[in-house]
Amino acid sequence: MKYEVTIGLETHVELDTASKIFCACGGHSSPKEPNDCVCPACSGMPGMLPVMNKRVVEKAVTAGLMLNCEINRYATFDKKNYYYPDLPCAYQITQLFHPICVNGKVEVTTKDGVSMIGIKQIHMEEDAGKLVHDEWTDTSLVDFNRTSVPLIEIVTHPDFHSAEEVLSYLEMLKSMFRFGKISECEEGAMRCDVNISVRPEGQTELGVRTEIKNMSSFTSIERAIKYETARHIDALERQTEVLVQETRRWDDTKGRTFAMRNKETEADYRYFPDPNLMPIVIDDAWLDEIKSAMPKKPEVKAAEYAEMGISEKEIEVLTGERNLCDLLDGVVALGASVKDAVAWILTECAGVLRKNGQVLSDLQITPEKLAKIIAMVADGKINRGAGKKVLTAVIEKDVDPEEFARENSLDANTDESAVAAVVDKVLAADPKSVEDYKNGKTKVFQALFGACMRELRGTADPMVIKKLLEEKLK
Amino acid sequence: MRDYITEASGNIAVDDMILVKDMQATAGSHMLEGFVPLFSAEAVERLENKGYSIAGKANVGEFGLDLVGEFSYYGAAAEGENLCGGSAKLVKDGSVKAALGVDLNGAPRRSAALSGVAFMKPTYGTVSRYGVIPCACSGEQIGVYAPNMKAMQEVLSVIAGHDAKDGTSLMHETYDYDTDLEISGVKVAIIKEMLEAASEDSRAKVLAYAENLKKKGVVVEEVSFELARAAQSAWQILMAAETCNNLSRYDGVKFGYRTPNYENIDELYVGSRTEGFNLLTKQTILYGSDVLSKNRYKVCYDKSLKVRRVVADAMKAMLSSYDAVLTPVCSEMQYTAYDISDAFKNVFKESFFTAIPNLIGIPALSVGGVQLMGNHFDESLLMSLAKSVEGMGA
Amino acid sequence: MTAKELEGLMQLNELSLSDKEGADMLSLFEDMKKSEDVLTAIDTENVEVMVHVMPMTNVFREDARKQNFSRESLLAGAPEHTEDSWQVPRLVK
């Protein structure tokens, strides 16, 4: 018999914000040590009140727009109750009754084709803290740095039918959120709960559903889905066990899922509206503001670039990093030609980074500075080699390009007579080579050219030197 | 046991439900023994900035859930027929000029009435709740205990005003409170159902107060407010559920009391909470948890949120025909000691008189042993009414 | 409410009552039914819930980081803690 697997996904993504969702402690990239980004509010002490971080709303709405959701113009917060030491107030502030985004959809491509995945909703909530097992004392240590870090949870309809689709969706979310500056989605910043059921092909009602909670590595998610699918099929086919609706966890070492103890699964979370947080109302003006601040989707950007004459290969690299698109657009807006801008970013910048063991996503340079360097070279103020030196200094030490060129005497010697004087001097100092050249040994030209370049310390346009040398050796 | 102020060392006492930096804050509960807050409540800061000094913390019943402070872990604020501790008594004795208290279910209004001082629970959102040990966030407010309306107006003016640290704080930067509004011709309604529910002495208080107001040209009429019972039930449900939720942070992990007897996290939780809370608190938690459960949410919690709107609309209608409302604040004018196993029932019974202002956020002034309620932001009218009959006896 | 349901409710709230207290609690739930009936009698068809008594919308803070409290001061009142963390009995991994 053939079987069909049906999967729904709940994906939690930590948002990149400077501060937490309800208090001013540093956001998810801030902590250096345990509990160094904690205050009375996010460690459960009484007296402080939650005040909503506006940026979180904007990022959640941006995510919703990217996933083709309807934006709820009226959104509220609710409290979810349960006890666990990583939840300092024993409640989590989340959205149940009026989530921020609903009814989205997104296309997912695998080798088997394209499928449409429905997004049920996106809601905002606070993250929980972390527990670390302490071997020395055999106790658990509680770290509240992650408590109240803003999350969005993206809930799909059960529209996936293979692990490949799930992975493709997750990869797409990740690149979309990085591109939209919603989240860098580093390891652990994206966590999934997977709902899974299996039925014989042709059967209308879904099979027994199990949920595998809290997985963050894509490899684990794939393995867990495959294991769980096989377990369900075994149970259906050979009655190896009776399937029950339950919550399970993935054991990465043993490579299998296991049921969580009952207490965790049968909770009644007793949600109710949070009286301390006022409703969020998103009017047209605010929505337009968020939309206009939104980056274009990678595919839109790619079409734009193709029209500008950028090659497919280059487009692929550029649209892989939102920062590169911003840089390119900025540099072009400041007057650089598209060809120069692309070459400087993809060849020269990449070269500098490579030498330092970095890649293009590590690039830190403002469009203003890069445009300045490109203009200096294009205008002949410095030659390309000097341009690379300036670029290296800008990337490594964030110097001012013009000042650096001046201080290091990299300014191109555009005064032909000055270059001519140097050429004359070089030729006068080496009559033997001149003689040789005139006798047909043309390969000494390179040596003379090199001597001129050295004398001018690379500040002159090589084409000018070459032209003068040729003239004077005739 | 801990020491509470007995003699004035400053001019303002602060209920132990409100945080003062570096002063232990217990909310009258064993659960918070040894908890020293790292910051002061906004109301406390505002008073200090204006040159007032904090005399110290005043005893309260555990989490402010009882009648008048009789069930504090740190010694009752009431014994036998005497109210012998707490803010109301300190103000009555003249030990302090005024005191701050948190009104979440009427306890400060009752203890003020029985001690012969005044307590104002102002309009919801006028005084920041930053620094309040939270229980029933949707309806609790910091208020002022004062011996007279002059002191009431003075202290209330200092603590009221917008605070960005409280997301429910109203946007008004300051409030101009007046105690000398013209009251001749003002119309006051006495809620008939409450008058009938009070005992003889409490009813006599209200009627005598009404007579004094009439002498000042105020029109007083008895009117029916049929939703009074519903308001009481709705606030009981909302108050208990929110309190249950807010008290879930006390688990023996982060601060305060931890049971000495535990092997694992469950024993730590259950032991700490069972030993740390008194019976009234536990009953409130269990009732509040139950009304939020899946099969009861619709008929209890959600229903109460809707009834709240019905009551608010009805009260608005009443306050468009009348300027203020006069009611008893306690069923009896004498406190009588009782066992904690009866506390939940007794407090619920008394909340019939006090629930409406908590439920819908209107101001309520306990003064002269009676209660005056008004429209949102009508504190000045309530104080002016009270001031006009100050010293007339009842 | 049955005794078994009360047991579950206590578990959910991480506290326990003595047998006598439990019996009292059960009769308390019974008593409160009357007051809940008062609510049921009120027509709330087409009435919206009222979560906030003084309605406002869009109360926000800007996304700015501030660290106002030291870890040391936060841990000072903990029943049990290490140099940098709160401490609880070992949890199942």
Give domain status of residue A290, yes or no: no
Using pLDDT thresholds of 50, 70 and 90, give the confidence band for residue A265.
very low
Contact A272 B292 (CB under 8 A): yes
Identify residues of B whose CB sits under 8 angstroms from chain A CBs: 19, 25, 27, 35, 37-39, 41, 129-134, 137-138, 164-168, 241-242, 245-246, 248-249, 251, 253-255, 265, 269, 289, 292-294, 297, 301, 305
Domain boundaries, chain B: 12-233+305-388
Q: Is the same domain home to A65 and A208?
A: yes
The lowest-confidence range among A262-276, A337-351, B50-64, B222-236 is: A262-276
CB B352 within 8 A of CB B232: yes
Quickly list DSSP for A401-436.
HHHHHHHTT-S-B--HHHHHHHHHHHHHH-HHHHHH
Contact A141 C86 (CB under 8 A): yes
Question: Beta strand B324-328 with B187-191: parallel, antiparallel or unpaired?
Answer: parallel
Provide CATH code, domain B12-233+305-388: 3.90.1300.10
Q: CA of A104, closest CA in chain B: separation in Å?
A: 28
pLDDT value, residue A266: 61
In angstroms, what CA-CA distances link A230 with A208, A213, A217, A221? 14, 18, 20, 14
Q: What is the dihedral of CA B143, B149, B152, B154, to 10 degrees?
A: 150
In angstroms, what CA-CA distances link A338 with A297, A309, A330, B169? 20, 8, 11, 53
Q: Judge whether residue B391 has pLDDT over 90.
A: no
Using pLDDT thresholds of 50, 70 and 90, give the confidence band for residue A263.
low
Burial of A331 (0-12, 13-18, 19+ CB in 10 A): buried
Rounded to an integer, what distance in angstroms lies between the CA atom of residue B36 and that of residue B138? 25
Give domain status of residue A288, yes or no: no
Q: Judge whether residue A99 has pLDDT over 70.
A: yes
Burial of B77 (0-12, 13-18, 19+ CB in 10 A): buried
Q: Is the same domain home to A333 and A364?
A: yes
Q: Which residue from B286, B80, B219, B52 is spatially nearest to B146, judged by alpha carbons?
A: B52
Q: Which residue from A62, A150, A43 is spatially nearest to A104, judged by alpha carbons?
A: A62
Domain boundaries, chain C: 1-43
Q: Is the same domain home to A458 and A312?
A: no
Cα angle: A437, vertex A442, A445; to 5 degrees = 85
Q: What is the CATH number of the domain that holds A428?
A: 1.10.10.410
Phi, psi dihedrals of residue A128, rounded to the nearest 5°: -95, 170
Q: Is the same domain home to A150 and A180?
A: yes
Q: What is the dihedral of CA B353, B358, B362, B364, to 10 degrees?
A: 50
Question: How many structural domains does chain A have?
Answer: 3
Q: Is the same domain home to A184 and A265?
A: yes
Ramachandran category for residue A222: left, alpha or beta (phi over 0 → left; psi -120 to 50 → alpha): alpha
Q: Which residue of C has its CA nearest to A74?
A: C57
Contact B251 A275 (CB under 8 A): no
- Residue ending a domain, among A219, A252, A281, is A281
Burial of B21 (0-12, 13-18, 19+ CB in 10 A): middle
Residue B312 contacts C, CB cutoff 8 Å: yes
Give domain status of residue A286, yes or no: no
Q: Is the same domain home to A314 and A269?
A: no
Rounded to an integer, what distance in angstroms lies between the CA atom of residue A274 and that of residue A264? 23
Q: What is the DSSP letter of A42?
A: G
Give domain status of residue A287, yes or no: no
Given CA atoms B101, B105, B110, B111 in this order, what sign does their dihedral have?
negative
Residues C22-60 have pLDDT tens digits of 999 999 999 999 999 999 999 999 999 999 999 999 999
Out of C63, C69, C93, closest to residue A18 by CB: C63
Q: Is the same domain home to A87 and A181?
A: yes
Rounded to an integer, what distance in angstroms lies between the CA atom of residue A281 and that of residue A141? 40
Q: Is the same domain home to A258 and A372?
A: no
Q: Is the same domain home to A141 and A83?
A: yes
Give domain status of residue A207, yes or no: yes
Q: Is the same domain home to A269 and A378?
A: no
Q: Which residue of C has its CA nearest to B124?
A: C54
Q: Judge whether residue B319 has pLDDT over 90.
A: yes
Q: Is the same domain home to A214 and A277?
A: yes
Q: Is the same domain home to A237 and A337?
A: no
* Average pLDDT over chain B, rounded to an integer: 95
- Residue ending a domain, among A234, A252, A281, is A281
With contacts defined as CB-CB under 8 Å, which chain C residues touch A52? 59-61
With contacts defined as CB-CB under 8 Å, which chain A residues touch B253? 44, 85, 88, 142
In the three-class reduction of DSSP (H, G, I as helix; E, B as strand; rest coil), residue B40 is classed as: coil
Q: CA of A60, closest CA in chain B: separation in Å?
A: 20
* Domain encompassing residue A261: 3-281
Q: What is the ipTM of this complex?
A: 0.97
Which C residues in the span 9-68 are in contact with B, Cβ-Cβ below 8 Å? 9-10, 12-17, 21, 24-25, 28-29, 31-32, 35-36, 38-42, 44, 47-54, 56, 59, 61
Strand C86-89: give its sheet, edge to edge: A130-134, A139-143, C86-89
Residues A195-207 have pLDDT tens digits of 999 999 999 999 9
pLDDT value, residue B1: 35
With contacts defined as CB-CB under 8 Å, which chain C residues touch A87? none
Q: What is the DSSP letter of C33?
A: H
With contacts defined as CB-CB under 8 Å, which chain B residues touch C73? 38
pLDDT value, residue B85: 66
